[in-house]
């Protein structure tokens, strides 16, 4: 698939409509030590990014597929090491042009949120610097592992710091019903979504003040 001559806005629109399970990546032999769960896939700037784990180096990283050059490569190392078997990591977009990463400890269910210091460009990895955004502790929050996901869907989350650091997560609870978990200013609460059970789809939508004709 060649997208070299298309505008970036159109490329990003095309990629955003491709479900991750439809992506096929032919990686060479030397890439095999890297485990790549494609359930955590995001699109930014017309390229696809996802988390991966290098078995040989015990490093978590972000992989990137550059559709303009049709090249698969390592983009950057995540700011964490493998602490416990089953720790989970999910990517999201922060402020429209930066990455955020959710990391949950498998043993304590504590959550840490990291963000990139600068916006993500279409170049290489030199400028990627991570900083811790916030720590989240919500009573009885489920483990966000693949085995707990509804039909393999990963959680959706949103963070904001315009007034006070806040965290919103959409996922299923222990009864596999849709719930929204909110944490802000040391307080947290859980809101159950009525008439929504197992197997639903969800995503985070950030409204814009740009008018649509």
Chain centroid, CA 89 distance in Å: 7
User: How confident is residue 131, by pLDDT bands cut at 50, 70 and 90?
Assistant: very high
Complete DSSP assignment for 173-201: -TTS-EEEEEEETTEEEEEEPTT--TT--
Where is average pLDDT lowest: 128-142, 144-158, 164-178? 144-158
User: How confident is residue 212, by pLDDT bands cut at 50, 70 and 90?
Assistant: very low
Collapsed DSSP state (helix, strand, coil) of residue 20:
helix
- Read off the DSSP letter of residue 59: E
- Read off the DSSP letter of residue 152: G
Tell me, what's the pLDDT at 116? 93
Section 142-164 average pLDDT: 71
Higher-scoring residue by pLDDT: 113, 18: 113
> Do residues 48 and 67 make contact, with C-beta atoms less than 8 angstroms apart?
yes
Q: Does the predicted model carry a pTM greater than 0.75? A: no
Tell me, what's the pLDDT at 152? 45
pLDDT over threshold 70, residue 197: no
Nearest in space to 102 (alpha carbons), one of 54, 51, 146, 53: 51
Domain extents in the chain: 8-192
> Do residues 176 and 153 make contact, with C-beta atoms less than 8 angstroms apart?
no
Tell me, what's the pLDDT at 208? 52
Higher-scoring residue by pLDDT: 39, 71: 71
pLDDT in tens, 86-123: 678 888 889 888 999 999 888 888 899 999 998 887 65
Tell me, what's the pLDDT at 199? 58
Phi, psi for 15 (deg, rounded to 5): -65, -35
Task: In whole angstroms, give the CA distance from residue 64 to residue 72.
Answer: 6
Section 148-166 average pLDDT: 73
Tell me, what's the pLDDT at 119? 87
């Amino acid at each position: 698939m060649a997208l070299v001559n298309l505008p970036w806005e159109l490329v990003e629109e095309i990629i955003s409509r491709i479900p991750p399970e439809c992506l096929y990546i032919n990686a060479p032999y030397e890439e095999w030590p890297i485990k790549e769960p494609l359930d955590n896939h995001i699109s930014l700037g017309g390229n696809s990014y996802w988390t991966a784990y290098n078995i040989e180096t015990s490093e978590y990283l972000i992989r990137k597929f550059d559709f303009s050059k049709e090249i698969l490569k390592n983009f950057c190392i995540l700011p964490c090491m493998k602490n416990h078997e089953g720790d989970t990591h999910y990517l999201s977009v922060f402020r429209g042009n930066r990455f955020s990463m959710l990391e949950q400890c498998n043993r304590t269910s504590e959550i840490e949120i990291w963000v990139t210091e600068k916006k993500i460009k279409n170049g290489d990895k030199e400028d990627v610097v991570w900083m811790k955004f916030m720590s989240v502790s919500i009573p009885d929050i489920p483990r966000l592992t693949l085995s707990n996901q509804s039909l393999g869907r990963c959680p959706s989350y949103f963070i904001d710091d315009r007034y006070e650091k806040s965290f919103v997560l959409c996922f299923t609870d222990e009864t596999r019903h849709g719930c929204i978990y909110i944490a802000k200013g040391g307080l947290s609460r859980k809101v159950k979504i009525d008439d929504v059970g197992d197997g639903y789809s969800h995503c985070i939508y950030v409204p814009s003040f740009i008018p649509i004709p």
